[in-house]
Amino acid sequence: MKNLRVLKEIVTVATSIRDGIYMRHFEKHYGRRITWLRAGVLGANDGIVSVASLIVGVASANVDRPELLLAAVAGLVAGGMSMATGEYVSVSSQADSERADLDRESKEIAMDAYGERKELASIYVSRGLDDDLADKVAIQLMSYDALAAHARDELGIHEFSRAQPIQAAIASAFSFSLGALLPVVLVIIVPMKLMVATVAGSSLLLLTILGVISARIGGSNLFRGASRVAFWGILAMLTTASIGHLFEYLA
């Protein structure tokens, strides 16, 4: 009976570590959303702040609508490409590091499987298992997928958070363009004398909504998520408006 109880404990713990969940219930973890949430929220926020601030700054210099629209569209296109490029390069570097770590770990497992098993067991001991159970769990997990076990528990590389450069680049470019679209549309339809106030007010409202949505999805405080986005949006537009007025004065 004792051996049967120990075997059940090994199966339960091993399954929990391997799958990231406990058998009794399924838990919704916000960390699984972090990859696409980061790229999407960052892109949309940057699109609104960048293009709206650009429009407010140029409009404050008292230019005509065609020049303002040209600046807005150029800001949308250039910003979207910049976001895609930056995100691709950044996430590609992360992916390269992950591949290098996995290659190194694979070679270490092939050269010294026993030592790697002991290393894995020591990690489980540090998490609260006794030596005997930790060793049994390490044996079972390594027999199932040794590299996956070390990637997850030694290197901290999880399948749901693996770097995906192309996906991140597309998400960033799309979300930036989507966020920048409203200020660009306003340039087309809003009277020039109301341009600064309308673009600034609409963009701040959209930023606040975006902050609330991202906080809700990410499981954080709604007021904090909305207020920090709105604060930096206000600061950006005040800065560009000041520069626009300065150029108008100097001209």
pLDDT digits (tens, 9 = 90+) for 125-168: 767 777 777 767 667 766 666 667 666 666 666 665 555 778 87
Q: How far is Cα 231 from Cα 207, in angstroms, rounded to an integer?
A: 10
CA 8 to chain centre: 38
Q: How far apart are CA 88 and CA 80, in angstroms?
A: 12
CB atoms within 10 A of CB 31: 13
Residue 184: its pLDDT value, please?
94
Q: Which of 84, 94, 35 is nearest to 217 (CA)?
A: 35
| pTM of the model as a whole | 0.67
With CA atoms as reference, report the closest residue to 138 among 156, 126, 150, 151.
150
Give yes or no for a contact between 246 and 212, defined as CB atoms under 8 angstroms apart. Answer: no
The position carrying tokens 């930023």 is 207
**In this structure, are residues 69 and 187 in contact, taking their beta carbons and an 8 Å threshold?**
yes
Residue 61 contacts residue 245 (beta carbons within 8 Å): yes
pLDDT for 238 equals 92
The per-residue pLDDT for 160 is 52
* Largest interatomic CA distance in the chain: 90
Q: What is the pLDDT of residue 73?
A: 95
DSSP character at residue 22 = B
What does the alpha-carbon distance between residue 109 and residue 142 come to, in Å, rounded to a whole number? 10
Q: Where are the alpha helices (DSSP H) in the chain?
A: 2-19, 34-60, 65-111, 113-126, 131-153, 165-189, 195-218, 222-250
Residue 16, Cβ density class (10 Å: 0-12 exposed, 13-18 middle, ≥19 buried): middle
Give per-10-residue mean pLDDT for the chain (251 aa).
Answer: 48 49 44 56 85 94 92 93 86 76 72 70 72 72 67 61 73 89 93 93 90 75 82 91 86 68
